[in-house]
Amino acid sequence: MEWVFNSYYTLIAATIVLLFGKLMVNKIKFLRDFNIPEPVAGGLVAAVILYALHAFYGVSFKFEKPLQDAFMLIFFISIGLSADFSRLKAGGFPLVLFTLVVGFYIIVQNVVGVGMASAFGLDPLLGLITGSITLTGGHGTAGAWGPLFEKEHGVVGATGLGIASATFGLVFGGLIGGPVARRLLNKMGRKPQGDAELKAAIHAQIAGGADQNTDDVFEHPDQSRLITASSAIETLAMFAACLAFAEVMDGIDKEYLFDLPKFVWALGGGVILRNILTIGFKFNMFDRAIDVFGNASLSLFLAMALLNLKLWELTGLAGPVTAILVVQTIVMILFAYFVTYNVMGRNYDSAVLAAGHCGFGLGATPTAVANMQSITERFGPSHKAFLIVPMVGAFFVDLINVVILQTFVSFLK
């Protein structure tokens, strides 16, 4: 028996998950100490409850995904709308360096996946499915490459395996980021800051000119924002325009271009619209509204994604595939701890970057941002990390991933 929740009930369930996750993080010291994001905490409990109902009563649950997909696109659009060219320039050499680190890790991820799949006697292409297709690429990339592998390369069940692997990555990307950063911060001797210290650090950052043009989108999700009705309507109109742009370009892309995930076009539409309005028309962007819509969409997307986590599908994964995913998780932890942290400077910003890399290296950019938020809410702001990770994780990484995957597929044919 399957219980279907339409979009309205799905939204209600997601908000309950978020409120329960917030209560858990506030009440359970372990979750606070390991910086587990609130949507992940509440979502995992919901997934376990749904699994128990399925196991004992044979009930399965289907939460309609249009809103989940829409919130994901809105999140990426909010990144694009906050990324003017001055901010891209402000990223400078660290942005380039982090992009190179991420690109190198994608190669490592695929080498591990293909190598282990071959060792287990599986089709090497399964190693790519349990590699950067699903872990760095996420559900969107899994949905794009799965049918291609099934039709052109005869990999049976590639789409289902890809979705299950991406779900595994989404969960563990949210679970490991906080503990990795916390261990690095303990090694540095950095202590959590109190409310007064956090406010002073934020004010010092703003006074120091860290970002004169925006309100640090996603960096301070709990900061109060003053929004007017007219600014909210203007912002919603921009989101709608970007959604329309993504819809049109996604159709053209699938027919004539590279078949990139839809969220890439959503983010690109946001970047284009912002810079046309600010440079061409001197339009004063209301970043506070973008900030609020983006953060709310981030939390709702993660909650809905975890509501759709079918643990009974994950338990049905073949032993070798599960082993590959476990090893990939360990490799991600080691890479973030020893490579990302050290290459990016061995400081507080690099520890936050390591948490973000865990988020989109296994899961998705929203998970990366949630990981970083869980750190900065306790240890202080990291403008550098919030400037770099959303740009690399949501845009550059997909372009790099496509090139590397095409190279691996050509080699393995």
Domain boundaries, the chain: 88-203+227-285+314-412
Phi, psi of 60 (to 5 degrees): -115, 160
Question: Around Cβ 238, how many Cβ atoms within 10 Å?
Answer: 25
Give the H/E segment covering residue 246: helix 229-256
Chain-centroid distance of CA 229 in Å reads 29
Give the ranges where 120-157 is alpha helix by DSSP (H): 124-128, 138-152
Locus of tokens 């309950």: 16
331: left (phi over 0), alpha (psi -120 to 50) or beta: alpha
Reference 301, options 17, 82, 4, 6; nearest CA is 17
Exposure string (b/e) for 127-162, b if CB count within 10 Å is 16 or more?
bbbbbbbbbbbbbbbbbbbbeebbeeeebeebbebb
pLDDT tens profile 270-306: 888 988 888 888 777 777 788 788 878 878 887 887 7
Tell me, what's the pLDDT at 401?
A: 83
**pLDDT tens across the length of the chain (413 residues):** 778 888 899 899 999 999 998 898 888 877 766 556 778 788 888 888 888 888 888 888 888 888 888 888 888 788 778 766 666 666 678 888 999 999 999 999 999 999 999 998 888 888 999 999 889 887 667 766 776 787 777 776 676 677 778 878 888 888 899 899 999 999 988 888 766 555 555 555 545 544 444 335 555 555 555 677 888 888 899 999 999 999 998 888 878 776 666 777 888 888 889 888 888 887 777 777 887 888 788 788 878 877 877 777 656 556 788 899 999 999 999 999 999 999 999 999 999 999 999 988 997 777 888 889 889 888 888 888 888 887 787 667 877 887 898 889 888 86
The reported pTM is: 0.69
Locus of tokens 């997601």: 14
Locus of tokens 């209600």: 12
Question: CB–CB of 25/32 below 8 Å?
Answer: yes
Tell me the pairing of strands 2-5 and 60-63: parallel
> Rounded CA gap, 198 and 382, in Å?
11
Question: CB–CB of 180/355 below 8 Å?
Answer: yes
HEC secondary structure over 45-79: HHHHHHHHHHHHHCCEEEECCHHHHHHHHHHHHHH
Reference 134, options 354, 406, 328, 299; nearest CA is 328
CA dihedral for 196, 197, 200, 202, sign (positive or negative): negative
